[in-house]
Structure 1
């Protein structure tokens, strides 16, 4: 009697997925510094260029990888078009709020949004998927709500930037996970930016008619950086999509803390944004919630592995 051949190992795929995830979140962590280099461009001009240059970069990738046939096939599926249109709206909100926050001196609050994002992901499981939370997850959600209240009271303003970023990217990640097996990273981002192209054109027209466009008027280096927004924007999104298709949610969840840590350090150490006592307490509560959430994820993953072991 011959023994069955062993199942193919997924270590290589998960190893590549981990590298993709770390690269994506690392690039996102340094985005505030890049956008500050684009001054004196307005946030609306920057986001419009992000959309148009990302679309051009994706079109180039489809050409180089001979992916146009698959892209056209996806574009004929109405469900895929609808999901990518919704993803486009969500990522547009995320991009615009993030650039507004960065150029407006609110990098720390933007980092708070991405610290809260894992909690939003857990809440989505309850609201959308009707999942039941484990005790540590309930504790993490409750502490996060308390943290938002403490920050709002202590800082004297509701943290709408943080919540807008957390909600928009949380729902965006949820949609990308739902269509991940059907839509490849390049085709998905191409569809998203194609839907947003009319918005980008209108933004450029309105900006040009009001405050004026800086592209072409602020020197060749500035123009080159504006063009590079396509690569800077698309690359981490493509890496994130590739990681989401290869990694379990636990591993993907652990790597996502890298981006807000880098953004927080940028805001506090480099840009010297104010950190009053109330904000420190609020951030401390968020970090405590993330510790509980991480412990819960690791325990759940360990229990799942133990349950999957063959019995004697």
Structure 2
């Protein structure tokens, strides 16, 4: 692999995280649409677009490869439900004035992955990792008791995505192919639910109620969620995981900035203090991961 290819993959990874970070702006354009219907449209159009992309790039056999493995099918069905729940909560949070707390969930997620590794994968934490987890836990407790509310949105987003990642870790399937199968499990129910909304008068797709521009945004919402994942799947195989691990904080950082400066959400000293504990934990975690990776590289060169 040449340095040019590495650099291209690096920028593709950056682009994926920037898209994820700026996504609240897109959902804000659809704030007049009920959050559940936004998520249902996302599921339908993402399933169609990803299935079409896989069929063009890999042929019709991409689905048969998975269907021939019942255990894998069951795992992807569960992961599909989890990611659907995650997206439902995320879109609702953005359009209900909780962008800052949603960003907190994605700051917490890497540390929650570490905890899951200890509980389910029998992994052992180093002292810096224990310190990182303790700092993050302290931040959550601070937000709960001093800010005045339990950060349930952040923890549910982090928890659902962490468990999703755990399932996908054991699901022996390529990332985009897995995404395609996951979406197929929610495609049918999503179509039926949208049809019911339209029939009962609660929808507005292809009607004068929302307008044609809204219809375009709902369709493109499927691509918006599929494209960064495809970019990420391309980049993660060509960029060191330590670099990807640091780049992933681009997304929640942009979301936090949008929440404070664009959406005008409160971010006083109490909330900032809780975030500071969590950011300190992330800093310890990131530095420890970087140093461990450097030690492994040096050991391999000896």
TM-score between the two structures when normalised by the length of structure 1? 0.89
Aligned positions, number: 300
Cα distance, 1:90–1:17 mapped onto 2, change above 3 Å: farther
Shift of 1:129: 1.1
The residue number in structure 2 matching 1:37 is 29
The residue number in structure 2 matching 1:296 is 288
Could you tell me how far apart the structure 2 residues matched to 1:271 and 1:39 are? 12
Aligned pairs for 1:176-195 (under 5 A) are 176-179=168-171, 182-195=172-185
Cα distance, 1:21–1:169 mapped onto 2, change above 3 Å: farther
Per-residue displacement from partner, 1:161-216 (whole Å, max 9, x unpaired)?
Answer: 1011111122223333444xx42333211100001123313542554467711322
Q: Report whether the alignment pairs 1:204 with 2:194.
A: yes
Task: Give yes or no for contact 1:189–1:238 (8 Å, CA) kept in 2.
Answer: no
> Which of 264, 277, 294 is matched with 2:256 structurally?
264
Aligned pairs for 1:44-193 (under 5 A) are 44-179=36-171, 182-193=172-183
Cα distance, 1:63–1:247 mapped onto 2, change above 3 Å: same
Cα distance, 1:211–1:247 mapped onto 2, change above 3 Å: farther
Query: Could you list the runs of 5+ residues in structure 2 that have no partner in the other structure?
Result: none
Cα distance, 1:276–1:52 mapped onto 2, change above 3 Å: same
| CA RMSD of superposed structures (Å) | 2.0
Query: Could you list the runs of 5+ residues in structure 1 that have no partner in the other structure?
Result: 1-8
TM-score between the two structures when normalised by the length of structure 2? 0.92
SS of residue in 2 equivalent to 1:39: coil
Could you tell me how far apart the structure 2 residues matched to 1:95 and 1:227 are? 16
Task: Give yes or no for contact 1:44–1:203 (8 Å, CA) kept in 2.
Answer: no
Q: Report whether the alignment pairs 1:213 with 2:203.
A: yes
Per-residue displacement from partner, 1:25-63 (whole Å, max 9, x unpaired)?
Answer: 111101100001013110100000000000110122123
Cα distance, 1:231–1:270 mapped onto 2, change above 3 Å: same
Task: Give yes or no for contact 1:176–1:241 (8 Å, CA) kept in 2.
Answer: no
Could you tell me how far apart the structure 2 residues matched to 1:127 and 1:246 are? 30
Cα distance, 1:100–1:210 mapped onto 2, change above 3 Å: farther
Task: Give yes or no for contact 2:198–2:205 (8 Å, CA) kept in 1.
Answer: no
Cα distance, 1:62–1:196 mapped onto 2, change above 3 Å: same
Could you tell me how far apart the structure 1 residues matched to 2:63 and 2:238 are? 21
Task: Give yes or no for contact 2:55–2:62 (8 Å, CA) kept in 1.
Answer: no
Q: Higher mean Cα deviation, 76-85 or 108-117?
A: 76-85
SS of residue in 2 equivalent to 1:157: coil
Cα distance, 1:91–1:10 mapped onto 2, change above 3 Å: farther
